[in-house]
Amino acid sequence: MHEFFSKYFSLIDKCITAVDDAMLLSAASLIAESHARGGKIIFVGNGGSAAMASHLSVDLTKAAAIRSVNFNEADLLTCFANDYGYENWVAKALEAYADKNDVVVLISSSGKSLNIINGVAAARRIGIPVITLSGFCADNPLKKLGDVNFWADSHAYNVVEMTHHVWLLAVADYLISQQKN
């Protein structure tokens, strides 16, 4: 294998396997408890993280029978961003759509996206649990704001996003496996 790819896959493997299993179980528990109370899981991200949010939302709904939504509709995003400012659209969307038994999963590769950080504040006002996923700097603002905070140790967007994606899919697959037992 070409040296670039060998190093690349080693880096991704290192990031993915660095996660603490207890954090994955905590995230799965928050999601399962929300589902048991009739809540839904709300996924929000920007760019590639938004695509990941869509994927996870559909997988939880279809494969795990756990109600889930994401905020990737162009009309919602552009309307709320236009009316409230891009940095506030997630918070305003949560205020409009989140219910007391929900859980929100907020994803920002850098951990510095103001719309995602402000979304945490809105979730706190609503009183719903927050799962965060971030990367880049270990001291990024998002990393310490959630009830469960995942952090990928990389400064490369694709590595961070793939790591987040694998972690979230692992949680979804774990929840599916628990339903079969």
What are the pLDDT digits (tens) for 96-109? Answer: 999 999 999 999 99
SS3 155: coil
Is the pLDDT reported for residue 181 higher than 80? no
> What's residue 180's pLDDT?
79
**Mean pLDDT calculated for residue range 123-149:** 98
Tens digit of each residue's pLDDT (9 = 90 or more) over 147-178: 999 999 999 999 999 999 999 999 999 999 99
Rg of the Cα atoms in the chain:
16
Q: Which of 165, 54, 158 is nearest to 150 (CA)?
A: 165
**Mean pLDDT calculated for residue range 78-85:** 97
Beta-strand runs (E) in the chain: 41-45, 68-70, 103-108, 130-134, 148-151
**95 touches 122 (CB < 8 A):** yes
SS3 68: strand
Domains of the chain: 3-180 (3.40.50.10490)
45 pairs with which residues across the strands? Answer: 107
Give the Cβ contact number of residue 41 at 10 Å: 24
Is the pLDDT reported for residue 15 higher than 90? yes
User: Distances from the Cα of 144 to the Cαs of 98, 106, 110, 140, in angstroms?
Assistant: 22, 12, 13, 8
Is the pLDDT reported for residue 1 higher than 70? no
pTM, two decimals, is 0.96
Tell me how far apart the alpha carbons of residues 121 and 69 are, in angstroms, rounded to a whole number. Answer: 19
